[in-house]
Structure 1
Amino acid sequence: MSTTLGVAMVEATPSAALRPYVLRLCAYREHYAAPVTRSEPAFPGSVLILGFGTPMEAGGQRVTSFGGGLSDRFTVTRTAGPAEGVEVFLTPFGARRLYGLPLRHLKNHLVPTGDLLGPWADLAVERLASTPSWHDRLALADRLLCERIAAGPSLGPELPWAWARLLESGGRLGVSSLADSLGWSHRHLVARFNDQIGLPPKTAARVIRFGRAVRLLRSGTSPAEVAVECGFYDQPHMNREFRELGDTTPGQICPRPGDAGRASLAS
């Protein structure tokens, strides 16, 4: 592994077959002079790390490769040594099919990939580690994920439809409206969300709204305008949501003169 300090990344767009399930793929390598601690924000998806090198601290444990479900809070990670691998940003439905279990069991949890995916995970990491080209490594990850997800449990069209509507609304679409559109009871909608997404619809909407607010702040929209646009009750309400979901404040995200792009929250 290179001893150059810092982080290097190369992203790849998932193949057409993978796009309903994977938002993006990223090959990475990082090595710092001292341990680096980060607060990873909640976002409307799931992260899978197929890594090798020095274990990192995440979710109160030391892991090299891990995955998990959606979260309604930020996660603290600490990188203490050189590591590399492939980071996979999954849609909820990609995570549901990849892991093959109800996502409510993975809410706010990070689990070693061996426990989540069995021997497939060890083989995937071994093959990725032996592939030196990052382009080839990302292509290999795409193929491996396509095969694994295709073998996962089939999902009906209703939840992907409801999820798309919630994303389009920026988290502002009411739960009762979703249930009425599907012809479901509120209880049935919540049960299906917990199974296939891992969060109840109202909580999922909070996470989606937070992500939209971050994007608007980064674009230069003022915090006051963002609070109104995203449907927060008031500025203090938005501040509380940012602390709970991202361990940050709107002021830390809002670009400042000469300080554009300073925020490190994932979109």
Structure 2
Amino acid sequence: MAGFRAQGSGPIDIRAIPHPAVTLALAFNPGTLVVEDATGRRPGALVAGLAFSDLQVRGRDMEAVQIRLSPLLAYTTLGTSAAELEGAVVALDELWGRDAERVQEQLSEAPSWQDRFALLDTLLVRRYEAGRPERAMPPEVAHAWNRIVRACGRIRVEELAAEVGWSRQRLWARFRSHIGLTPHRAAKLVRFHHAAHRLAAGRTPAGAAAESGYYDQSHLHRNVRAFTGITPTTLADEPFLAVDDLAWPGQAPPVTRTGRSPEERKRPPTDPEVPSAR
């Protein structure tokens, strides 16, 4: 969870970088926030699925909160699964109705960032506890996702299938029906996520490729192109990655997050966090 303030600094126009999570964005207070993809523009409050593409974030004089949710928890908290989103962007009021507007109003009235985070923590826990149990994630799929995360994307589908006692074909089908990606593409997305942060932290493309488990630099180049349409060198300078203090500790734009103290944010970059089932 991160909070953004962009006031008096000119317009924002940045590329959103795919992340192995379902992303919830809530803008509040005067100003504008618009996210635009190939299907159109969506203002204010929205949800983006896994492995989105060609997403631009534009805004001016606004405050916003971004929440990254594990796909294992997306349905019970948001009302739609990662598979139903399929990498698309939808307006939050399509999922929550008037509740989306009420949450934005409450965020605007909250006196501090910590109050806003606490408000959203309470909201998400309440929605999770009220979720429909029949749509809960199968434990085999949850295990496969968490293993992909822990392995930083460096695990074979055959190994995952053996661990859960399913055939490769069954795991492939069930994983895709709940997560929205095949296990293989999910692993590629998690590996890309780690490589992107290493590039942003100053690693060379060759170094980032070696540290992230790619065969060579050209393999990394193809993967980055597939998820972003840009080169690894260009990706390293994308400002949207700066929302993660692990990429540029101490150099991020005005952002506040829960769970990490200022001292922790000054530490050298380590493995970036990927939402799992916690």
> 1:224 and 1:28, CA in 2 relative to 1: closer, same or farther beyond 3 A?
closer
Give the SS at the match of 1:93. coil
Deviation at 1:242, TM superposition (A): 1.5
Aligned pairs for 1:125-140 within 5 A: 125-140=104-119
8 Å CA contact retained: 2:3, 2:113: yes
Q: Residues of 2 paired with 1:223 and 1:85: CA distance?
A: 32
Using the size of structure 1 for normalisation, the TM-score is 0.78
Higher relative contact order (CA 8 A, sep 6+): 2
Q: Which amino acid aligns with 1:245?
A: F
Q: Residues of 2 paired with 1:226 and 1:240: CA distance?
A: 13
Aligned pairs for 1:17-32 within 5 A: 25-31=1-7
Q: Residues of 2 paired with 1:95 and 1:84: CA distance?
A: 24
Q: From 188, 193, 216, give the equivalent of 1:206.
A: 188
8 Å CA contact retained: 1:252, 1:263: no
1:41 aligns with 2:5: no
Q: Percent identity?
A: 34
Q: Which ranges in structure 2 are unaligned for 5 or more consecutive residues? A: 245-271, 273-278
Deviation at 1:248, TM superposition (A): 3.9
Using the size of structure 2 for normalisation, the TM-score is 0.75
1:84 aligns with 2:54: no
User: Relative to structure 2, which stretch is displaced further, 39-48 or 27-36?
Assistant: 27-36
Aligned pairs for 1:168-247 within 5 A: 168-247=150-229
Deviation at 1:174, TM superposition (A): 0.7
Q: Residues of 2 paired with 1:230 and 1:87: CA distance?
A: 26
Give the SS at the match of 2:35. strand
How big is each residue's C-alpha offset from its partner over 1:24-59, in whole Å with a ceiling of 9 and x where there is no partner?
A: x22222135543221111111011012224241322
User: Relative to structure 2, which stretch is displaced further, 245-254 or 161-170?
Assistant: 245-254
1:123 aligns with 2:102: yes
TM-align CA RMSD = 2.4
8 Å CA contact retained: 1:39, 1:76: yes
8 Å CA contact retained: 2:33, 2:57: no
**Which residue of structure 1 lines up, in the alignment, with residue 41 of structure 2?**
61
